[in-house]
Structure 1
Amino acid sequence: MRLVIALLCLFCLPVQATENLRIAVAANLLPVMERMADRYQRETGITLQLAGGSTGAFYEQIRRGAPFDLFYAADAERPALLTAASIGQPARPYACGRLALWTPGHAPDLHQLPPGRIAIAQPDTAPYGRAAQQALQHAGRWAVERADVVYGQDIGQAFQFVASGNAVAGLVALSQLRAAGIDAGQFQVIPVNHHAPLIQARLVLAEGERGAAATAFAEWFDRQHDILDDFGYARPGENGCARR
């Protein structure tokens, strides 16, 4: 589904009717949210305006007043920080993501990576990047591979590095691989005990009529188990997706 807005235009948009909810979406979740938006529009007639990107970047934008109605983050930390700063309603977890090693043309093995550049998201701002670093450390490969690591600003750019051939391997979101129809023989799902759980939380930012519409969508989202399952997400509290 086509993205409706460009991120740079968000700050100049006037407040619109509730049929155009504005949602900041972590890059790993964007393929999921695009399918959700298509289904939601068919069921309700309500259009969703999606902006995909880095959770860390969205956090800074929202903290400075970016006019989003909802924030679907790649972690639970930043929505909680916004809530603590009296921004939005209390944050709630909505899913847990999975990390995967993608090695087109090579057998995927975290302990024996192919020679060449390895793509991960920026650990300082992207939760999947932090999980990727933790997974490499757990496998004893961080010190060995660190010089070959290339950093994407978010998990979407890390995926593109591999897809374009600019990296021989990448630690990316399982959801991206499922969305792209990548053959299962090209990737290895990283065990959940190799990194901190990728608990992902959402935050309703809007108030009044828009807030009610945003809450209604968030509650609808939680019932779409089939879509979340298709993209490899676990629900909070199951399949190794425990709070820490």
Structure 2
Amino acid sequence: MRKGIVFMMLLSLLMGACAAKTDPPTLKVAAAADLTLAFQEVGKRFEAKTGTRVVFSFGSTGQLAEQIENGAPFDVFAAANVQAIDKLTKEKLVVPETAHVYALGRIGIATKLKSVQTLNDLLKDDIKKIAIANPDHAPYGLAAKQTLQHAGIWEKVQPKIVYGKNIADTLAYVESGNAEAGIVALSLMKTSHVDFHLIKEAMHAPIQQAVAVMTATKHREEAKQFVAFLRSTEGQEIMKKYGFSLPKGK
């Protein structure tokens, strides 16, 4: 009887060890805040397809890149601009052959006011605050600044500008009423109830969304699978659904 109990205990431990070995890993993906809605769907589809779970950390591209440089244990980095990936590639922090531009972002004016539809409307007296992401570390904030400069109104509206930590934080300024208008990502508008007016792409430098696998990842194959899924027909259709344009060749 005693031998039987010991045998069952050993068998249970052995089965547990085998299960632990076969359980798929959880990928940690650092992703720009504009990807919040799109990547939530990408993550669900990827997990259903591969069994690999994905946990996202959303934030501004610059701040996430800094975390990676300081040793943050991410497996994949999806930035809002290709320059961030290029810089990390030079620092040997990403696997070079996995670096790709997979989507192009779009921006527009978000507001609750019917009187605001164009960039020049931002000059109106009833617009006290205009929210944009911090251009020092958020590519969408830089695109917003470039747009206002291209329109010739940057210096005029600068006293009204309030900076969000990232593009999701910027939209929150408008939704909460803490800013009468903001320049935000089209990709975040599916669940928002503010009015949105798309800005022409020619008003700013292209917002090239880029992704790469981290050199330090312990799950390189699974991380490569995530990048491959993002670039697949299924992944690209999800990106289009949330307002992203596809790079040439897609």
**TM-score normalized by structure 2?**
0.83
1:242 alignment counterpart: none
Give the length in aligned residue pairs. 220
Higher mean alpha-carbon deviation, 207-216 vs 43-52, is at: 207-216
TM-score relative to the length of structure 1 = 0.85
Residue 93 of structure 1: aligned partner: 101
* TM-fit CA distance, 1:22: 0.3
Report whether the alignment pairs 1:192 with 2:201: yes
Of 108, 111, 115, 2:117 maps to: 108
Aligned to 2:9: none
Task: Give, in angstroms, the shift of residue 59 of structure 1.
Answer: 0.7
Matches within 5 A, 1:123-142: 123-142=135-154
Quote how far apart the aligned CAs of 1:111 are.
1.6
Structure 2 counterpart of 1:23: 29
Q: Of residues 173, 182, 194 in structure 2, which corresponds to 1:170?
A: 182
Distance 1:197 1:238, change over 3 A: farther
Structure-2 separation of matches of 1:182 and 1:208: 39
CA contact (8 A) 1:70 1:206 kept: no
Based on CA coordinates, which of the two structures has the bigger radius of gyration? 2
* Residue-by-residue CA offset, 1:223-244 (whole Å, 9 max, x unaligned): 22221111111111279xxxxx
In the alignment, is residue 228 of structure 1 matched against residue 239 of structure 2?
yes
Indicate the SS of the match to 1:218: helix
- For 2:249 and 2:107, locate their aligned partners in 1 and report how far apart those are by CA, in whole Å: 16
* 1:107-129 deviations in Å (ceiling 9; x for gaps): 42112125210000000100000
CA drift of 1:138 comes to 1.1
* Distance of 1:92 and 1:142 partners within structure 2: 32
Q: Distance in 1 between matches of 2:39 and 2:215?
A: 19
Residues 1:40 and 2:51 aligned together: no
Q: Once the 2 structures are TM-superposed, how far is the Cα of residue 208 of structure 1 from its aligned partner?
A: 7.2
| Long gaps (5+) in structure 2 | 1-22
Task: Mark the CA change 1:118 to 1:137 in structure 2 (over 3 Å): closer, same or farther.
Answer: same
Percent sequence identity is: 37
Q: Secondary structure at the match of 2:102?
A: strand
Unpaired runs of 5+ residues, structure 1, are: 1-16, 240-244
Q: 1:60 aligns with which of 35, 44, 66?
A: 66
